Amino acid sequence: MKLTKYTHACVRLEKDGVVIVLDPGTFSEAAEAMEGAQAVLVTHEHPDHLDTAAVVEALEGDPGLALYAPESVAGKLREEAPGTAARIHAVEPGSTFQVSGFDIRSFGGQHALIHPQIPVVANIGYLVDSNVYHPGDSFIIPDGIKVQTLLVPLHAPWSKSAEVVDFVIGVRAPRAFQIHDGLLNDNGLGIVEGHVQRIGAKYGTEYKHLAPRESVEV
């Protein structure tokens, strides 16, 4: 499977000529990431994970494109693009389904707490082919299965570095790459990634930074 990292939280996965995209948001190259895709998976409704305009345009422009998201997201997108409603699917946590030849398992259910006065929205983490895990905005650890490739939310208004490192330790995937790094400058990125790389290695996780549009086989 080929994994291509886009800016912030967007990732493109390719296998046997089939493409799925996770979290094409406004901080990312959403339209570019979705080119030729068969499906889009969205973890939650925040704009840095969902560029609504770009996704609606992609759905309306490609009759073969399907979308999977929490019902709160799926319902809004059906209103935005009613002609594509049959291809917009709601995902519940704890479910297993297939998307264009990819096996998907969903985890979690809630976005991590930002502040008690800020409402908590639905968030779904996706495990693809028992390999790549994208948690969205959460540190939910998949139960009952070994993750091979972990996408690590490095920095967010809802997290601190200790929680990031503990997430990596808890999952213990053999390899990890960063997501949710769009709010960090080079200084902050170097500090957080240094902690993740050094401490993660003690627990068997090899961490590597991917530049925007960089690809790797996983």
Q: Which two tokens stand for residue 1?
A: 């499977």
Q: How many domains does the chain have?
A: 1
pLDDT of residue 160: 96
Residue 19 included in any domain? yes
pLDDT of residue 31: 97
**What pLDDT digit, counting tens, does each position of 68-84 carry?**
999 999 999 999 999 99
CATH code for position 168: 3.60.15.10
Give the model's pLDDT for residue 32: 98
With respect to residue 213, please indicate whether it lies within any of the assigned structural domains.
no
Confirm whether 215 is domain-assigned: no
Task: Yes or no: say if 32 and 26 are a contact pair by the CB < 8 Å rule.
Answer: no
Confirm whether 217 is domain-assigned.
no
- List per-block mean pLDDT (blocks of 10 residues) for the chain, which spans 218 residues: 98 97 98 98 98 98 98 97 98 96 97 96 98 98 95 97 98 98 96 98 98 98
For residue 104, the one-letter residue type is I
Burial of residue 186 (CB within 10 Å: 0-12, 13-18, 19+) is exposed
Phi, psi (deg, nearest 5) at residue 62 = -130, 105
The predicted structure's pLDDT at residue 117: 97
pLDDT of residue 116: 96
Which residue, 89, 78, 40, 90, is CA-closest to 62? 40
> pLDDT tens for residues 125-145?
999 999 999 999 999 999 989
Domain region containing 132: 2-208
3-state secondary structure (DSSP) of residue 53: helix
Q: Is residue 214 part of a domain?
A: no
Angle subtended at Cα 7 by Cα 93 and Cα 87, rounded to the nearest 5 degrees: 45
